Amino acid sequence: MSQASWRLDVPAAEEALRTLKTARTVLMPTHQNVDADGLASPLAIASALAQLGVRAVPVLSDGALPPSLRFLPEVDRVLAYGVDPLPEYDVLCLSDCSDRRRLGRFYADDPSRVDGTIPIVNIDHHVTNDRFGLVNIVEPRAAATAEIVAEILRVWGTELTLSIAQSLLAGIYGDTLGLRTPATTARTMRTAADLVDAGANPAPIVDALFRLKPRTTVCLWQRALTNVQWTGSVIWAELTQDILADCGAEASEAEGLVNFLAGTEGSLVAAILFSNKDGWRVSLRSLNEDVDVAEIAKVFGGGGHPRAAGCQVTGGEEEKMAFLREVNERASTSNVGTA
Ligand SMILES: [Mn+2]
């Protein structure tokens, strides 16, 4: 299905650069549970700003670098929140962050950090983005924030170095699962091809993001798959802190699992429920065009994309089952005669 192409808001891209250039230091906190797009985008922007003599520092809001993202170029320049001291900063640039609460502990420890007192440049492709920035470049039709960043850097006149090209391609591949998702357009592919022309190499990206996995991930999948359950058309599995600890695994290692479950015949939605102290953090996926999991997640205070979203369920077993029943109901009623 071809989609109407989007057009970069060029004046906003120029205004973003003007704002970023006023900074002595730009801080770039990532969203929590950072993924390839969420980290590669700020890395590419930081490199582009370095060409202009502007210091920009990406910060992992969760305080840790997911092992699968260690391959990203110049990842050594990334700080870990709560581990490394934060530099003084006078402009914030958030990329791939649909709302400020997604900044995890960086937000929770002090919400006034992102109340607008320090100007925010907001670059994102989530349809649920609430345009919280002083400058907002939000394009939901882009398959990845990195796809938008590639356009922005063109406007900025950035030299497309090997590491910038590799970062941006990693961001695009990450969100499109290697140019395979419905959000992937001809334009996405052309941008990817331009990046390959600039020297980016897809092979190590595909290996790092989709093939290589630690043993802990196999342990996690093994434990999760023995506990797969159905609530109507919702296929789901719960991962407790105990399971994560037994396997020595991180929650981020279950991302592939929820995508795997989403391809199960007869399912409309796949969910992984990660238990936490308040209840569960839920990751939702659907392959069905008629089911918008971002809309479903929104009902529970979450957000994301039509095919991939997340939210928090607060409470106990009763609230958990009520949540799953409601997801099933919303998925089933939004859908006419499928699966
Ligand atoms: Mn993204």
- Closest among 118, 42, 30 to 73, alpha carbons compared: 42
Specify the pLDDT at position 338: 45
Specify the pLDDT at position 5: 82
Specify the pLDDT at position 1: 46
CA of 336 to the centre of ligand 1 (A): 29
CA of 191 to the centre of ligand 1 (A): 15
CA of 285 to the centre of ligand 1 (A): 15
CA of 37 to the centre of ligand 1 (A): 5
pLDDT digits (tens, 9 = 90+) for 247-267: 999 888 898 899 999 999 999
- Closest among 266, 333, 274 to 299, alpha carbons compared: 333
CA of 40 to the centre of ligand 1 (A): 10
Specify the pLDDT at position 3: 54
CA of 132 to the centre of ligand 1 (A): 17
CA of 144 to the centre of ligand 1 (A): 5
CA of 337 to the centre of ligand 1 (A): 31
* Residue 203: other Cβ atoms inside 10 A: 8
| Domains detected in the chain | 10-210 (3.90.1640.10), 215-333 (3.10.310.30)
Specify the pLDDT at position 335: 56
CA of 284 to the centre of ligand 1 (A): 15
CB 211 within 8 A of CB 336: no
Q: How far apart are CA 322 and CA 324, in angstroms?
A: 5
CA of 308 to the centre of ligand 1 (A): 10
CA of 161 to the centre of ligand 1 (A): 22
CA of 202 to the centre of ligand 1 (A): 18
CB 258 within 8 A of CB 297: no
Specify the pLDDT at position 339: 42
Element (H, E) at 300: none
Entry pTM:
0.81
Cβ-count burial of 13 within 10 angstroms (0-12 exposed, 13-18 middle, 19+ buried)? buried
Q: How many Å from the N-terminal Cα to the C-terminal Cα in the chain?
A: 20
Chain-centre distance for alpha carbon 18: 26
Low-confidence stretches of the chain (pLDDT beneath 70): 1-4, 335-339
CA of 174 to the centre of ligand 1 (A): 8
Query: For residue 285, which amino acid is it?
Result: R
pLDDT digits (tens, 9 = 90+) for 206-236: 999 999 989 999 999 999 999 999 999 999 9
CA of 145 to the centre of ligand 1 (A): 5
